[in-house]
A = this chain, B = another copy of it.
Amino acid sequence: MAKDRNENIKYLLEPRAIGIIGASANRWKIGNSVVRNIVTGGYKGKVFPVNPKEREIEGVPVYRSILDVKDDIDAVCITVPAPLVFEAIKQCCERSVKYGLVITSGFSEVGNVKEEREIVDYANSRGMRILGPNIFGIYSSKASLNATFGGGAIARPGNLAIVTQSGALGGAMAAQAGVENIGLSAIVPVGNKSDIDEADLLHYFIDDDHTRALLLYIEGVKDGASLLGALKATAKRKPVIFVKSGRSARGAMAAASHTGSLAGSDEVFEDVIRQCGGLRAENIREAFQWCKFLADNPLPAGDNTVIVTNGGGAGVMATDACEKYDVRLYDDFEVLRAAFSPVIPSFGSTKNPIDLTGQATAEIYTKAFDAAYADENIHSALGIYVESALLNAESLARVVEPNYERFKEAGKPLLFTLIGGAGTASYEDAARKKGFPVTTEVYDSVACLGAVYAYKRFKDSGPEDSIDADIDAQAIENIVAAAKQDRRTSLLSSEAQNIMKIAGVGIPKSLIAMTMEGAVKSAAAIGYPVVMKVVSRDILHKSDAGGIAIDLENREEVIDAYGAILRNCRAHVPNALIEGVEISEMVQPGTEMIVGARIDKTFGPIVMVGHGGIYVEVMKDVSFRALPLTRSDILSMIKQIRSYPLLLGVRGEKMKDIETLVDTILKLGAIVDKCEGISDIEINPLVIYEQGQGARAVDVRIILSRD
């Protein structure tokens, strides 16, 4: 049975009864910790420890075998040594257990791939799903279930769900969440991801009322297309924050040796996760700050942020950070002056940063926040406090706490940064533990607000149908089939050009002539200037053989060139069969782009665009999106590249034909998606002309998939 992605794995997170194969009475053993945590954690369902030698563990009666249990069992934790796991799974299948949680390690992560595969295939074919192997168990606040072998207490129940590929880091994050007073709805390690993966879990958490934000720690994605689908659906409902390591080449190598997972291209991951609404944090501190704030706070109604500070320098730093994290500072200076000049001291500034100066007391802060609260043009705010004799830690609480609460109620996110000595630090710590969003570094607060706005932009993007190009897949597949019969792994240039013609991508006009007269006629039909090239399978290096002439401007030059090409080629390769001469349009200069599509090993069909020619390798100015594509996806992908202004026209040049670029991207995507046998297409350069003037695919490379 293939696993059903639409099946909701409710009873994995909310089992009505749970078994533990490998339960132990020895408190040093994992098989004991799991039972103990379940019992002391307040789980309300039935618990069935299995151990052939014990009669009772942690006060719960023990079964000799899972087969002896008469009740239905939703999930079974397996903690027996690796060589005994398969037998345990078989028994679970016999008992129609829905989920096997294989805590035991020693499978694919140490090279034991085959047995892991066999176990999963066996279980799946009998309707059972596997979580793990190589996990620390799961926690679910909804079920009051702590089925982990962790020693420490799980953080308090709350609304953040953590899904993690690294058990150790997952456990430490859960503990850290406790310190940060972040409540958890669930922690689910996915371990080796032999079966159940992040996509399955996202599908569950979409509808889980307890969960208001998700944190995913990922080292490598296995089934990227499923992940993106699940992410897109989830992110429309609740924020999903990613920490993905293996960004760098060396990091990817380390990840491979850690969990055996291939990281894939980090650039692709970054782009397609964002396309589908995911927020990517660089590190764990960022991730926690974002998760906590997003889980607890409303999204702002609009883009306008104000910075309210008593320190000019810190205000300047926050302004820099706003640019870095794409937070828009409100800049209607008239409105700002009207709102704030009545409340700020002289020498202060209303220009946003609103500078209350070192004279600011709690009263002045509160009046400034009153003004920001009352002004409907202001949608979010950053409060900054630089230690001052006029405002001690106690008064600080009067500024931070009520303002945060009423702004939150009004749908206006408000974050504070507090910079100072021991008193300030200890209030900051206390406030954070009480759940107020305070940091000691303006960059942290602004990064968090940046995540809020990134998420808002995704949520605000209305429902948009994906678009598709209508291509003649059959005609293209015929060309591919012929090449495959020749056992080729890539297409000839002429075949690639044919495919472009079929798909309606502009290529240089070209005709084959067999005679001098034909050449002259063809050139006239194409329009001068033209390029001429010998057609012969026997001449591989046409340029070396003198088989190419460029920039031919008139009839006479074509006649001369025709003669010269034949002479040169006959002299160079005496026995060559010359099939004719190709006359092509001489491509006029334009903006050179690179456009591509491929079946990505991780994410399936993806498209790519970038600044082409030789610059693509040097500047690496490219962006990616996964199929299916909306028009907005393609436009945002084009706008993302640094050289986008070249398409808008620089130095008085006119706007380029962006429509044709969009269309070409869409067509390449459709080709790799729909045509069997093509794994990779790249046009470099695609020369783009002014608006309405189209483009020319000058060089097209198509790589076939390996069967």
Contacts and interface: CB of A to CB of B under 8 A. Distances in A.
A284 B419 contact: yes
In the complex, the count of this chain's copies comes to 2
A282 B347 CA distance: 28
Interface in A107-124: 110
Interface residues of A, number: 85
B166 A255 contact: no
Contacts of A665: none
A395 interface: no
A503 B165 CA distance: 63
A171 B315 CA distance: 15
A419 B172 contact: yes
Contacts of A211: none
A386 interface: yes
A311 B645 contact: no
A317 interface: yes
A617 to B, nearest CB: 6
23 contacts: A165-B313, A166-B313, A166-B314, A168-B358, A169-B311, A172-B311, A175-B424, A178-B421, A178-B422, A179-B422, A247-B324, A248-B322, A250-B323, A251-B317, A251-B323, A254-B353, A257-B349, A257-B351, A257-B355, A283-B321, A618-B642, A619-B621, A619-B643
A615 B641 CA distance: 13
Q: Which 5 interchain pairs have the tightest Cβ spacing?
A: A175-B421, A166-B313, A258-B312, A248-B323, A169-B313
Contacts of A650: 614, 617-618
A316 B172 contact: no
A382 to B, nearest CB: 13
Interface string A311-345: 11111110111111000010000000000000000
B176 A313 contact: no
Interface stretch (A11-19, A59-67, A191-199, A435-443): A435-443
A249 interface: yes
Given A169-B311, A245-B317, A251-B317, A619 B619 contact: yes
Interface string A427-448: 0000000000000111100000
A453 interface: no
Contacts of A257: 349, 351, 355
A317 B441 CA distance: 22
* Most interface-central of A174, A316, A351, A650 (chain B CB within 10 A): A316
A332 to B, nearest CB: 14
A693 B152 CA distance: 70
A380 interface: no
A389 interface: yes
Contacts of A615: 615, 643
Interface in A331-389: 347, 349, 351, 353, 355, 358, 386-389
Interface in A249-305: 249-251, 253-255, 257-259, 282-285
Contacts of A389: 150-152
Given A151-B389, A420-B172, A617-B650, A316 B283 contact: no
A320 B421 contact: no
A454 interface: no
A140 interface: no
A469 B219 CA distance: 53
Interface of A: 110, 150-152, 164-169, 171-176, 178-179, 217, 219, 243, 245-251, 253-255, 257-259, 282-285, 310-317, 319-324, 329, 347, 349, 351, 353, 355, 358, 386-389, 419-422, 424-425, 440-443, 614-615, 617-619, 621, 642-643, 645-646, 650-651
Contacts of A243: 317
Contacts of A254: 312, 315-316, 319, 351, 353
Contacts of A311: 166, 168-169, 172
Contacts of A171: 386-387
Contact of A258 (B219, B349, B388): B349
Contact of A179 (B353, B421, B621): B421
A682 to B, nearest CB: 15
B283 A443 contact: yes
A251 B312 CA distance: 11
Query: Most B CB atoms within 10 A — which of A165, A258, A615?
Result: A258
A108 to B, nearest CB: 13
A614 B283 CA distance: 37
Contacts of A219: 313, 316
